[in-house]
Structure 1
Amino acid sequence: MAAGLCPRLRVFVASSRPLLAARSGALPQPLRRAGPAMPLAARARRGLGSSTAADPLAEDFATASDLRFESPLEVVKYPDPVLRARNKRISTFDANLRALADEMFDVMYKTDGIGLSAPQVGVNVQLMVFNPAGVKGEGEEIVLVNPVVYKSAKRLLVFEEGCLSFPGIYGNVLRPESVKIEAQDVTGAKIKVKLSGLPARVFQHEFDHLLGILFFDRMTMDVLETVCEELKVSSGLECI
Structure 2
Amino acid sequence: MAIREIRTVPDPILKEVSQPVEKVDDDLRALMDDMLDTMYAADGIGLAAIQIGVPKRVIVMDLAKPDEEPAPKFFVNPVLSDPSDTLQPYEEGCLSVPTVFDEVERPDRIRVQSMDYDGNQVDEIAEGMYAVCIQHEMDHLEGVLFIDYLSRLKRNRAVQKVKKVEKAKDKDAA
Match of 2:89 among 133, 158, 162: 158
Q: What's the secondary structure of 2:122's corresponding residue?
A: strand
**CA 1:105–1:136: 2 relative to 1, 3 Å:** farther
1:149 lines up with 2:80 in the alignment: yes
The structure in which a higher percent of residues are strand is 2
AA in 2 matched with 1:174: E
Deviations 1:77-99 (A, max 9, x none): 11111111121101121111111
* 8 Å Cα contact 1:171-1:227 kept in structure 2: no
1:197 lines up with 2:128 in the alignment: yes
1:79 lines up with 2:7 in the alignment: no
Partner of residue 229, structure 1 = 157
Q: What's the secondary structure of 1:204's corresponding residue?
A: helix
Looking at structure 2, the residues matched to 176 and 183 of structure 1 have their Cα atoms a distance apart, in angstroms, of 19
- Over alpha carbons, which structure has the higher Rg? 1
With normalisation by structure 1, the TM-score equals 0.64
How far the C-alpha of 1:126 sits from its partner, in A, is: 0.2
Structure 1 stretches lacking a partner, 5+ long = 1-69
Q: How does 1:213-224 map to 2 (within 5 A)?
A: 213-219=144-150, 221=151
Q: How does 1:1-240 map to 2 (within 5 A)?
A: 71-133=2-64, 135=66, 138-219=69-150, 221=151, 225=153, 228-235=156-163
Partner of residue 39, structure 1 = none
How far the C-alpha of 1:122 sits from its partner, in A, is: 0.6
Looking at structure 1, the residues matched to 100 and 52 of structure 2 have their Cα atoms a distance apart, in angstroms, of 19
How far the C-alpha of 1:149 sits from its partner, in A, is: 1.0
**CA 1:89–1:136: 2 relative to 1, 3 Å:** farther
* 8 Å Cα contact 2:2-2:37 kept in structure 1: no
Looking at structure 2, the residues matched to 85 and 136 of structure 1 have their Cα atoms a distance apart, in angstroms, of 36
AA in 2 matched with 1:80: D
Partner of residue 172, structure 2 = none
How far the C-alpha of 1:72 sits from its partner, in A, is: 3.9
How far the C-alpha of 1:140 sits from its partner, in A, is: 1.6
How far the C-alpha of 1:135 sits from its partner, in A, is: 4.3
Structure 2 stretches lacking a partner, 5+ long = 165-174
How far the C-alpha of 1:121 sits from its partner, in A, is: 0.6
* 8 Å Cα contact 2:148-2:155 kept in structure 1: no
How far the C-alpha of 1:195 sits from its partner, in A, is: 0.3
* 8 Å Cα contact 1:101-1:143 kept in structure 2: yes
The structure in which a higher percent of residues are helix is 2
How far the C-alpha of 1:225 sits from its partner, in A, is: 4.5
AA in 1 matched with 2:144: I
AA in 1 matched with 2:52: V
Work out the number of aligned pairs and report it: 164
